[in-house]
Structure 1
Amino acid sequence: MNSSINRRLKSWPGWALMLVVVVAFLAVGSTRSSGPQSPEDRVDDITQRIACPVCDGESVFESQNNSSRNIRNQVESLVRSNELSDDEILSFVDNRFEAELLLVPRASGLDALVWALPAAGFVLGMTGLIVAFRRWRADAAGLADPTDDDRALVDAALAADVDQDAGEGSGR
């Protein structure tokens, strides 16, 4: 009975179930908020997602540049007014400045493909490899032992080769 359970866990439905459970946990964990944030936490969170328009590779949260300070102050005043959500504030900042300032793509539309396509490609690639390896293993299992017909065919070919070599050797 123990080996039957073990065999079932090793079969593909067991792995598919495990994949579904992991994806479900990741989806719940990534979308779940930790509760209400203080205004300072919101400002920090928003400014970490906005790129400094002058500095290379820094967020507005890290940068000490005057333009970053102005953006940080603007975000702080929008958060304190408590009229806009975080996404609305990010859209406001993104629309107000001509440069592309968002460090993290939006989770909708074409920007979502930036995150979804590599993950989907990885899953499809791994699935293709698993299918190919299983097919190769099944093909190799069918080639394990030669049959009596195979042995007879090889013996006949070897005998014909010996006869041909003997015929060539006597003609010299």
Structure 2
Amino acid sequence: MRINTVLKIYMLAVVALLTACKDDDIPALEYQQQGFVKGTINGVASDNKTIINKSYEYTQFAPGLYPNGAAYSYYQVKPDGTINIRVLRQDIATGGYLSMGFSLSNDTDTSPDGINYTFQYTEKSDPYISFGMESGENDITITDFSFEKSSGHLKGKFEITGSANSTGNDARVTGEIDVVIKEVIQ
């Protein structure tokens, strides 16, 4: 009788476990949310008619370090004391993101150097809006910048202006960054 009861409990547990699982051929990538990159985009679309005046907020990121560092936010202290930083926040649902990298001469530096970035905004609406800017011929300024190495807390404001973007017209992207990034030790 006791073995029969244990067997029934075991079978119920197996059935409950199997019915709780969903059929999914592709395992889910767990995105995390922490901090934000948010701001506005102002410009004119490539049709020279449609005004782009949009707000964005990116809070998601994929944990883990990828070979090119493109999908992860981190900082790395080099032997000479310089600090390389990469910030990425995205909106998985729309495909929008900001990826920004730069270096600091030390942990008290408030003027990032060697700034490179890729900004993408997508709105699946009518009309469908897609706007992108990358490092190169545009101007970028970072202000109100701070980085606390002991906590990884990074804050600042940025402005990107220029016509080297997906529309070919003058545009302005402003934003605020407030994130915590992790140190990578190699």
What range describes the TM-score normalised by the shorter chain of this pair? under 0.3
TM-score, normalised relative to structure 2: 0.22
Q: Which is helix-richer, 1 or 2?
A: 1
- TM-score with structure 1 setting the length: 0.23
Does 1 or 2 have the higher relative contact order (CA < 8 Å, sep 6+)?
2
